Structure 1
Amino acid sequence: MNGDSVRFELPQPKRISLSESVADTIAQAISTRIISPGERIVETSLVEKLGVSRVPIREALKVLHAQGIISGGGHRGYRVAAFDASVTQQIMEVRLSLESFMLRDAIENWRQGRGSPSILEPCIDQMRASAKAGSLRNSLIADLEFHRIIRQAADNPIVGTLWDTIARHVLIVFNFERFRDEDLEAIPRQHEEFLDWIKGQVAKSETAFGDIQTALENHMLLIARKKKQGAVSLTR
């Protein structure tokens, strides 16, 4: 890792659940290409740049290694894994499957009066603010938070736990060119349209599971299809 390139760019981790926060910080750095695929991760550099001890750094690296986000370990050290097309496809397939169940349950809960999809609106506000500030990182985080809130509203602990295990992968994939709109102002508009669809389903008496899958796939692959670069159907 180039220490100079991350000195002022890496966000400082929170002091709650420090090792998990450090893991999130590293994943965010990978997602925004502060740390590039294949790049060696130097533990001492992370200690210096993040201002934390070696213990949470090592724990965070072990977590990221177990999740397949970094490879190597031992005397060889760690490197950022290569998220090639096949790996990306697998992540997107798993994400579509899990989020279909999550959105199904969230819509039903909202339909029953347990909360409201309006809870997603602050995330869209954050996307607008990120676009105005030109912050890709904050836009990515707001995008992930949008889907995390759906995960919480679903109140499905099994699916939610599985989704948590790939949340960092999703954050990284968000930044791939074929899944990202260079116009940050387009991102809140896309989520507004998706939220309008969700609100429309809540107003109905029921929603077909296939319709949920289709809506999610269209939302997730909107940019890829618009660019006509490697848009692969996730429902084979």
Structure 2
Amino acid sequence: MTDESRPADRPGRRLPLPETIADAVANAIATGALQPGDRVVETSLAEELKVSRVPTREALKVLATQGILVAGPHKGYRVASFDEATVSRILEIRLSLESILLRDAIQNWQARAADFAELEAVIAALEAAAAAGDKRASLRADLEFHRAIGRASGNGIALTLWEAIARHVLIIFSRAEYRDDDLGAVVEQHRQLLAFIQARAATRGSMEEIRQGIEDHLLRIPRDRARSGGHLADTSGG
């Protein structure tokens, strides 16, 4: 795996070693260092990451359980293929979970003085990533924006389920949605979502409105690219 595929620490917490290893493999798939069908060998991975085989074995089992790796003969693993049906299912699950998380977060923001500093800080990180042309940093910040909404929701069950598909989202969106010319558009996309959240926190929005807002956010880049013949203009104004 390349240095680019190695995981950065998630903000605010130190992960157990098996989770860190699993993130490293997911990052390698997301960045293309590992391709669908490639073998992932426990001993080689442990040597490369300079860790022992026990946490490496645990990490590979987690990834196989999540469907990111496929167990093969002789206890080996291969990178799974994410076909159109799988991508569609992940998007549907993400939409449902994020609608619930955003609804609960908005209710919490309505019940107290809303503080959007964390979301604004993540948008600043997205802007820095776009300016640097850093796709991987943009992806991490994108996920962290939605993770911050999850934390604000106070809904631990839904957030745990969301975390279970976070690696799928990283892989699918890095390989299928994000391109270098999309990074400025991603910033604007999140600015618009924050404006939507702030407006709903100041009023009362129905669950259907919240779900539609999340759906528009998740699908805007693919829809805009389809309309423009495969590429996006930078809509961030700079």
Asked if these proteins are the same fold (TM beyond 0.5), I'd say yes
Taking a change above 3 Å as real, the CA distance of residues 43 and 114 of structure 1, as seen in their structure-2 partners, is farther
1-structure distance, mates of 2:86, 2:115: 35
TM-score w.r.t. length of structure 1 = 0.88
Taking a change above 3 Å as real, the CA distance of residues 29 and 115 of structure 1, as seen in their structure-2 partners, is farther
Residue identity (%): 47
1-structure distance, mates of 2:151, 2:6: 25
1-structure distance, mates of 2:135, 2:144: 14
Q: How many residues align structurally? A: 222
| SS of residue in 2 equivalent to 1:79 | strand
Question: 1:24-173 maps to which residues of 2 (within 5 A)?
Answer: 24-73=23-72, 75-113=74-112, 115-173=114-172
Is residue 219 of structure 2 the alignment partner of residue 221 of structure 1?
Answer: yes
Determine the structure 2 residue equivalent to 1:187.
186
Give the superposition deviation at 1:72: 1.4
Determine the structure 2 residue equivalent to 1:3.
none
2-structure distance, mates of 1:208, 1:16: 36
Amino acid at match of 1:228: A
| SS of residue in 2 equivalent to 1:25 | helix
Q: Deviations over 1:10-37 (max 9, x none)?
A: 3267674000111111111111212111
Give the superposition deviation at 1:50: 1.1
1-structure distance, mates of 2:162, 2:31: 21
CA RMSD in angstroms, aligned pairs only: 1.8
Amino acid at match of 1:224: P
1-structure distance, mates of 2:115, 2:64: 37
TM-score w.r.t. length of structure 2 = 0.87
Taking a change above 3 Å as real, the CA distance of residues 169 and 114 of structure 1, as seen in their structure-2 partners, is farther
Determine the structure 2 residue equivalent to 1:203.
202
**Greater shift in the superposed pair: 45-54 or 137-146:** 45-54
Determine the structure 2 residue equivalent to 1:232.
none
| SS of residue in 1 equivalent to 2:5 | coil
Amino acid at match of 1:218: D
Give the superposition deviation at 1:104: 0.2
Determine the structure 2 residue equivalent to 1:175.
174
CA contact (8 A) 1:107 1:202 kept: yes
Give the superposition deviation at 1:160: 1.4
2-structure distance, mates of 1:112, 1:165: 29
Q: Which residue of 8, 11, 20 maps to 2:3?
A: 8
2-structure distance, mates of 1:194, 1:16: 29
Give the superposition deviation at 1:147: 0.4
1-structure distance, mates of 2:8, 2:81: 24
2-structure distance, mates of 1:67, 1:197: 32
- Structure 1 stretches lacking a partner, 5+ long: 1-5, 230-236
| SS of residue in 1 equivalent to 2:180 | coil
Taking a change above 3 Å as real, the CA distance of residues 111 and 227 of structure 1, as seen in their structure-2 partners, is same
**Greater shift in the superposed pair: 116-125 or 81-90:** 116-125
CA contact (8 A) 2:105 2:150 kept: yes
1-structure distance, mates of 2:30, 2:168: 9
Q: Deviations over 1:63-108 (max 9, x none)?
A: 0001111101451511111100000000000000011000000011
CA contact (8 A) 1:98 1:159 kept: yes
**Greater shift in the superposed pair: 219-228 or 109-118:** 109-118
2-structure distance, mates of 1:182, 1:193: 20
